[in-house]
Amino acid sequence: MVPYLCTAFQDVHVMIFVGFGFLMMFLKRYGFGAVGFNFLFAAFGIQWALLMQGWFHSFKSGKILIGVENLINADFCVGSVCIAFGAILGKTSPIQLLVMTLFQVTLFAVNEYILLNLLHVKDAGGSMTIHTFGAYFGLTVTRILYRPNLEQSKDKQGSVYHSDLFAMIGTLYLWMYWPSFNSAISEHGDAQHRAAINTYCSLAACVLTTMAFSSMLQKKGKLDMVHIQNATLAGGVAVGTSAEMMLTPYGSLIVGFICGIVSTVGYVYLMPFLESRLHIQDTCGIHNLHGMPGLIGGIVGAITAAAATEDVYGKEGFIKAFDFTGKYQTRTPSVQGGFQAAGIVVSLLMAFTGGALVGAILKLPVWGDPAAENCFEDDVYWEVPEDEESDVYHMHNPDKPASP
Amino acid sequence: MVPYLCTAFQDVHVMIFVGFGFLMMFLKRYGFGAVGFNFLFAAFGIQWALLMQGWFHSFKSGKILIGVENLINADFCVGSVCIAFGAILGKTSPIQLLVMTLFQVTLFAVNEYILLNLLHVKDAGGSMTIHTFGAYFGLTVTRILYRPNLEQSKDKQGSVYHSDLFAMIGTLYLWMYWPSFNSAISEHGDAQHRAAINTYCSLAACVLTTMAFSSMLQKKGKLDMVHIQNATLAGGVAVGTSAEMMLTPYGSLIVGFICGIVSTVGYVYLMPFLESRLHIQDTCGIHNLHGMPGLIGGIVGAITAAAATEDVYGKEGFIKAFDFTGKYQTRTPSVQGGFQAAGIVVSLLMAFTGGALVGAILKLPVWGDPAAENCFEDDVYWEVPEDEESDVYHMHNPDKPASP
Amino acid sequence: MVPYLCTAFQDVHVMIFVGFGFLMMFLKRYGFGAVGFNFLFAAFGIQWALLMQGWFHSFKSGKILIGVENLINADFCVGSVCIAFGAILGKTSPIQLLVMTLFQVTLFAVNEYILLNLLHVKDAGGSMTIHTFGAYFGLTVTRILYRPNLEQSKDKQGSVYHSDLFAMIGTLYLWMYWPSFNSAISEHGDAQHRAAINTYCSLAACVLTTMAFSSMLQKKGKLDMVHIQNATLAGGVAVGTSAEMMLTPYGSLIVGFICGIVSTVGYVYLMPFLESRLHIQDTCGIHNLHGMPGLIGGIVGAITAAAATEDVYGKEGFIKAFDFTGKYQTRTPSVQGGFQAAGIVVSLLMAFTGGALVGAILKLPVWGDPAAENCFEDDVYWEVPEDEESDVYHMHNPDKPASP
């Protein structure tokens, strides 16, 4: 087992199960669902992804060859489902989530095959395959599952103090391990090195602009936890394609700087608009964290690829960086840039059509989805303990108020 | 320092201190005790284990040689104490825990010496040495410490919403890092590779059957957090012996599939029976998570070893996998399978006799154990902050209800 | 990318963002501020540290060369800011924290340059550069920012049950990953090996004496969570300089043993004295966790260096361990010990003068610091959700008490 792969695998694994699981724990009464359902469909998804990606990429003489790299790729694939889960969080049954996982993993594998094998596109950190595809897939699904009466459970759509702190565990693990995520399957050596450092720089810059704009856009200048939990991560999404290329630390800082702004502005202005006008009920705001930054990431990747020269990468490094070997021997950077751009378009098309299809399937009245007034509520699917603690320990509680 | 060892060491370290510490935090008023006492006896235990294992395995010319592998083995040894702690959680004093650790670590080292050095048994992930031994040791101790009046503290034996979420942190870290656990001390290369991938597959399958059976066996079909927190991990326990062998991913999936069912059924039907009939008060249900899956793991390991052929492993790999060198040169797979089975029996015997002995010692009235009505309560051993927060921030609280 | 560096980088990264962020979450109403502001200034600090340390150590032909080792060093540098943050926790505005970070990172880089490059001192785990400097810098700043009316917010200076559990997440991650911290930038091979093992031993011993003295020094013999959260870590601080040297496991155990006592006694007796007599308001008690153990670490390092002989290290290992090459070819161990001691003095001088300067700047009335009655309160800088949960779910709550 190559040691780096193994480290990176464990880091990515933590991002999928603790990172996403806890990030979505911000709702006051949906902690069990957030972490538990994430656990359920991710454990299901990685098995299905091993099979799907195995058939596409490592099927030899009747057997699928499995290595640690396959485990990482399975986690990546499930990452796109975790993203889509963010849009429909609290509004679906576990069965619906499993059905969605089944289809989305399949579509992910097809989309990835088209991008990596047919278009020969580079996307090591998955700006296109994971984030753009996952986000617009999820947004399409939630659009189709639109619930006009969702305001009936509006009192449960917010957070409480402790749920926000749990969510920060998720945020921090995503943020800290993102350099491993973006470099996990890069070419060992220089490319991996670059990917980790560029991601680190982009994420660091993103935190600063997120905090600044969160404070600037709120009344009274207070910081909003929703922005800190989410928009700080946009910098990692937006260098997913280009991190392993010669984006340079300064380039990464600029990308992160911009994405912190775009994502925070998205939360404040765009998200209410999407909900009221386009009827897209996006619980976690994945459009701001994965959608727009994913698109930016695809575009930055296309530009960085198109701008590549042998001077900067060195002759050998240049060929290695873009795999300009075999039948791609004659591809030029500008052509590669064009194919990268095509990759964005393909991912979007797959997301919209796939999401529409899966949304329609999930709309069938057989999956036991919760009523509008029971959304964002664990009690529907979980044995929830009565919080007797308060009875016992809140001494101030006049259980039997002194009768007059 | 071999890089992989170091990664694996940190992962295993996290499992012992965060994994077990937080997993046992599910009780509503025993969070300090769960994580704090676990911290205490584990820190004590690893030092004692370094000495004990050092004397048995790496003592040369008056000095114990220490490497990172020894640190991993010390963590493994303490893992068995963490398991036993699960059975007596909330019912013992910190002094009792230290005394138990002292003895259990010693017995662990003896049992491990018998299995690995005398019987020449393979048990890289510790299905027998860690899980079977730890679980039945702990169950014997709790049987001897049986408290007939434990229902006096029944109101504190449950969880609250937030304590269940904290426990999920423990669950997830155990689940995610288990591939590192089972592969940490395997032969570098193929065996390590296999161990990680087999464990990953078994754990993934286990989550699915746990969820399914948790829902099926509950009234109203709701999921029970106790099952999700514990039974999802049984798949890792059950491939502890065989993960580094040619269990194959499909074999692992089947083992995980079965163990999710066994463990969940154990929680629902067997545990109440053990308590009411056999007077075994098993706070965390370690019989379901470590006991039965550990036995299954030992048996699966014996079968996998007995079924080994040179065809599957390759001539060299075959000898390497089972260390058929030196005086074991002539051992055949079926004989190895027999010795593996003997290892299970030895571990059980050591657990029962050792547990009875240690239980008798802990029953002496000198260790300051809590009264029955103070069980599962931090206030006995910890300075617990008064939750004044509620006073200040629960605006709705009619401290002095408006008099009529 | 050297695999070990990458693993160690991620571990150190976790310590800075989750370790320190959550450790400081113990206050009942400052969880957002603890983890959020730590996130903010650390993300800012690592960028500034990359530039500062780049200019000092890896500036070549107009460009700063960046590798993963630089990312680790940037995290180290920010670690000293996290320590200082502990002293002023809850009493400053985010702007003040950013200003402090700007200056402290600069001073850290200068101090580090003097120690490592001019005095040729060894300090791989930063007992002097990170802990001693960070702690006394922070203590000087908080002394200058002395608030005579701080008792107005005394009711918010304590913890609640759940905030203590969140803080334990921080404690455990710091404790578990400290072996990676102290060995991260050691010479690959033996020194790294030694650093990890010595740190592990010191930390394990420290837990035991902390628990013992916490119980002994409290009325009724109960354990105090503040000690468990902090003093257990002192053993890692105190071997920061010497861990990579031939301290031996027994030496490490002794250092950890002593530091658990010193740190716990500091919390119980010294801290109230510092506050009442010297007007040093040290929110987290960094003097006990980083100040005194840091000094001990510097002294132990000086002694261990002075006591080094070629017999113990081997001829080659000896030269390698202390870099006695080039113009330091003729330096003897005892001279090295003297320089190590000088390093402590320089770090203290830099901390006091730098802290006084930065404290004076932060005292300017332009930074929007909170009023005394608003200290330790998230509501000043954060949108805090109203905890409506209690309204909805505490069934026992007689919102409208049954009228008679």
Task: Find the closest chain A residue to C18 by CA distance.
Answer: A172
Percentage of the residues of chain A whose pLDDT score is greater than 70: 94
| Tens-place pLDDT, residues A148-202 | 988 888 888 889 999 999 999 999 999 999 999 999 988 887 888 899 999 999 9
pLDDT, position A188? 80
Count of C-beta atoms within a 10 Å radius of residue A314 = 12
The backbone torsions φ and ψ at residue C8, rounded to the nearest 5 degrees and listed phi first, read -60, -40
Q: Which of C168, C173, C211 sits opposite B35 (nearest CB)?
A: C168
Say how far residue A268 (Cα) sits from the centre of its chain: 20
pLDDT at C324 over 60: yes
Read off the tokens for C305.
Answer: 């260096």
Yes or no, beta carbons of B396 and C397 under 8 Å apart: yes
pLDDT, position B135? 97
Smallest Cα–Cα separation from B71: which of C208, C179, C238, A1?
C179
Residues on chain A touching C174 (C-beta within 8 angstroms): none
Element spanning A64, H or E: strand A63-64
pLDDT at C287 over 90: yes
Yes or no, beta carbons of A29 and C169 under 8 Å apart: no
Distance from CA of B190 to the nearest CA of A (A): 7
Walking along chain B (404 residues) 10 residues at a time, the average pLDDT comes out as 71 95 94 96 95 88 88 95 96 95 96 95 95 97 94 87 95 96 87 92 96 91 94 96 92 96 96 94 96 96 93 86 87 94 97 97 90 91 73 37 37
Distance from CA of B332 to the nearest CA of A (A): 28
Task: Find the closest chain A residue to C401 by CA distance.
Answer: A401
Residues on chain B touching A156 (C-beta within 8 angstroms): none
Percentage of the residues of chain C whose pLDDT score is greater than 70: 94
- Round to whole Å and give the CA distance between A267 and A225: 11
Which of B1, B162, B175, B220 to substitute to test the interface with A, most A CBs within 10 Å? B162
Residues on chain B touching C28 (C-beta within 8 angstroms): 385, 388-389
Distance from CA of A36 to the nearest CA of B (A): 8
- Round to whole Å and give the CA distance between B151 and B157: 9
Residues on chain B touching C208 (C-beta within 8 angstroms): 40, 43-44
Average pLDDT over residues A78-98: 96
Helix residue ranges per DSSP H, A307-388: 310-313, 315-322, 333-362
Yes or no, beta carbons of C18 and A201 under 8 Å apart: no
Distance from CA of B48 to the nearest CA of A (A): 29
List chains adjacent to chain C, taking adjacency as at least 3 C-beta pairs closer than 8 Å. A, B
The ipTM (two decimal places) reads 0.92
Residues on chain A touching B208 (C-beta within 8 angstroms): 40, 43-44
pLDDT, position C239? 96
CB pairs under 8 A between B and C: 136
Residues belonging to chain A: 404
Smallest Cα–Cα separation from A355: which of A402, A287, A304?
A287
- Round to whole Å and give the CA distance between B139 and B39: 21
List chains adjacent to chain B, taking adjacency as at least 3 C-beta pairs closer than 8 Å. A, C
Task: Find the closest chain C residue to B12 by CA distance.
Answer: C176
pLDDT at C75 over 90: yes
DSSP per-residue string spanning A196-261: HHHHHHHHHHHHHHHHHHHHHHSGGG-B-HHHHHHGGGHHHHTTTTTTTSS-HHHHHHHHHHHHHH
pLDDT, position B190? 83
Alpha-carbon Rg for chain C, nearest whole angstrom, is 22
| Tens-place pLDDT, residues B39-54 | 999 999 999 999 998 8
pLDDT, position A77? 96
Contact C159, C167 (CB under 8 A): yes
| Tens-place pLDDT, residues C217-248 | 987 889 999 999 999 999 999 999 999 999 99
Sign, CA dihedral B64-B69-B72-B77, equals: negative
pLDDT, position C60? 85
Contacts of C87 (CB under 8 A, 6+ apart): C135, C138, C139, C141, C142, C280, C281, C282, C283, C284, C286, C287
Smallest Cα–Cα separation from C231: which of C165, C164, C180, C286?
C286
Mean pLDDT estimate for chain C: 90
Distance from CA of B288 to the nearest CA of A (A): 20
pLDDT, position B387? 66
Residue C316's pLDDT band, with cuts at 50, 70 and 90, is: confident
Element spanning C63, H or E: strand C63-64
- Round to whole Å and give the CA distance between B68 and B52: 16
Residues on chain A touching C404 (C-beta within 8 angstroms): 403-404
Residues on chain C touching A249 (C-beta within 8 angstroms): 50, 66
Yes or no, beta carbons of B158 and A68 under 8 Å apart: no
Residue A391's pLDDT band, with cuts at 50, 70 and 90, is: very low
CA distances from B299 to A283, B178, B241, B305 (A): 47, 20, 9, 10
CA distances from A377 to A27, A33, B211 (A): 9, 8, 18
Terminal CA-CA length for chain B: 75
pLDDT at C390 over 60: no
- Round to whole Å and give the CA distance between C93 and C111: 26
User: In b/e form, how buried is each residue of A46-79, taking b as 16+ CB within 10 angstroms?
Assistant: bbbbbbbbbeebbeeeeebebebbbbbbbbbbbb
Task: Find the closest chain A residue to C37 by CA distance.
Answer: A211
Task: Find the closest chain A residue to B211 by CA distance.
Answer: A40
Residue B85, amino acid:
F
pLDDT at A204 over 70: yes
* Phi-psi category of residue B121: left, alpha or beta, with phi > 0 → left and psi -120 to 50 → alpha: beta
pLDDT, position C397? 36
Average pLDDT over residues C388-401: 38
Yes or no, beta carbons of A71 and B197 under 8 Å apart: yes
Q: Which of A21, A387, A397 sits opposite B161 (nearest CB)?
A: A387
